[in-house]
Structure 1
């Protein structure tokens, strides 16, 4: 399984409606490309993992990386993962973290965690924890 994870910062504030629209389009594109993953938005930052066949994941990431709605795209992980998909049921799982309390209660991490400070493995663990809190 090929996987890419990255962090980025939004160039604008994203309302709930903006995020819903972004997700609707991303899910349709990812479903068509057989790409699965998880996206978290917190304090203007995005953390995302994409997984699937290499050419499909790279194509999706290449499009995302030049999207003018965000900047400072930092690649955390790119390569073959071990085993099966980690997010097999999500064309794009999503969690918006409006405040740190939600992270503390739902995901169970320390309130000092900021997406920008996560390394590749911590980011993947965080995304997995967020996906388990979704229905």
Structure 2
């Protein structure tokens, strides 16, 4: 199991109304690839966690990097993982959690995992 966490900035023409189709498309693609994860959008930035087999996650990430709906992709953390955090979600749009809280939680979880390894 492999987990990757990245952040990026929405393209200027991306609107909150674009989220639903993005999540629906990502969910279908992730299901095909055996990838689970979560996406958070604060109106300006994205934060996304992808988890699955390493090759599948890295292949998907190479596609995501060139997606015109965002720029400035930064991989915050990537590591082997013992289990899935989002095992029931092909791709979930995480709502109700502050964007910075989500980024901090994911970053600290990966740092803790790295220290335990």
TM category, shorter:
0.7 to 0.9
Instruction: Identify which range, 9-18 or 37-46, moves more after superposition.
Output: 9-18
| CA distance in 1 between partners of 2:109 and 2:43 (Å) | 16
Aligned residues: 109
What's the C-alpha RMSD, in Å, of the aligned pairs?
A: 2.3
Instruction: Verify: 1:85 aligned to 2:71, yes or no.
Output: no
TM normalised by structure 2 equals 0.80
Which of 107, 111, 115 is equivalent to 1:121?
107
Q: TM-score, normalized by length of structure 1?
A: 0.70
Which structure has more relative contact order (CA 8 Å, sep 6+)? It is 2
1:68-101 deviation line (CA, Å, top 9, x unaligned): 11111111111212x21110000001035xxxxx
CA contact (8 A) 1:13 1:44 kept: no
1:49 partnered with 2:35: no
Stretches of structure 1 that go unaligned for 5 or more consecutive residues are: 97-105, 125-135
The Cα shift of 1:4 comes to: 0.6
Q: 1:60 to 1:69 in 2, by over 3 A?
A: same
Report the alpha carbon displacement of residue 114 of structure 1 after superposing the two structures with TM: 3.7
- Matched position secondary structure for 1:6: strand
Consecutive aligned runs of 4 or more in structure 1 exceeding 2 Å deviation: 12-17, 117-124
Partner of 1:73, secondary structure, is: strand
